Amino acid sequence: MKKKDLFLIGILLAAGIMGFVVFKGIQKSASSNEQILKISVDGEMYGEYSLKNKQEIKIGNTNVCQIEEDGRVSMIEADCPDHLCVKQGKIKEFGESIVCLPNKVVLEIVTDDEKTEKIDSIAK
């Protein structure tokens, strides 16, 4: 009898947690579709920054990128030999990216919803 009770409680708890996660997920996708700048270095997440905040971001000791007032992102400094990333200009739209191959730096514009999914796929 006791074992059966524990089993039932376990199921109820699991169902509760699942319901909570689903609810959170719905809440999140309904709340925002904000565009964010995702920076990764050598395949690892370096940081995520809202395009709404004007700022300069130092990426390690090798690159510096900039978010402008209107949400445009550009690489403004890099110590790579070709400077292709700096020459790539500005990105603003979802899905666009700037890549610095020698330094393995990737700037990518994603949406708030997209980001957890992308982190998952990197982890795999």
Q: Closest separation between CB of residue 35 and Zn ion, Å?
A: 23
Query: Does the footprint of Zn ion cover residue 39 (CB under 5 A)?
Result: no
Query: Does the footprint of Zn ion cover residue 78 (CB under 5 A)?
Result: yes
Out of 37, 39, 73, 85, which residue is the one contacting Zn ion (CB under 5 A)? 85
CA 76/CA 62 separation, integer angstroms: 11
Q: Closest separation between CB of residue 22 and Zn ion, Å?
A: 42
Out of 36, 39, 57, 100, which residue is the one contacting Zn ion (CB under 5 A)? 100
Query: Does the footprint of Zn ion cover residue 106 (CB under 5 A)?
Result: no
Q: Closest separation between CB of residue 71 and Zn ion, Å?
A: 22
Out of 77, 80, 112, 119, which residue is the one contacting Zn ion (CB under 5 A)? 80
Q: Are 33 and 113 in contact (CB under 8 A)?
A: yes
Q: Are 98 and 91 in contact (CB under 8 A)?
A: yes
Q: Closest separation between CB of residue 40 and Zn ion, Å?
A: 14
Q: Nearest-CA neighbor of 64 among 79, 84, 43, 42?
A: 79
| Strands in the chain per DSSP E | 35-41, 44-50, 55-59, 63-67, 73-78, 90-91, 97-100, 105-111
Residues that bind Zn ion (CB under 5 A): 78, 80, 85, 100
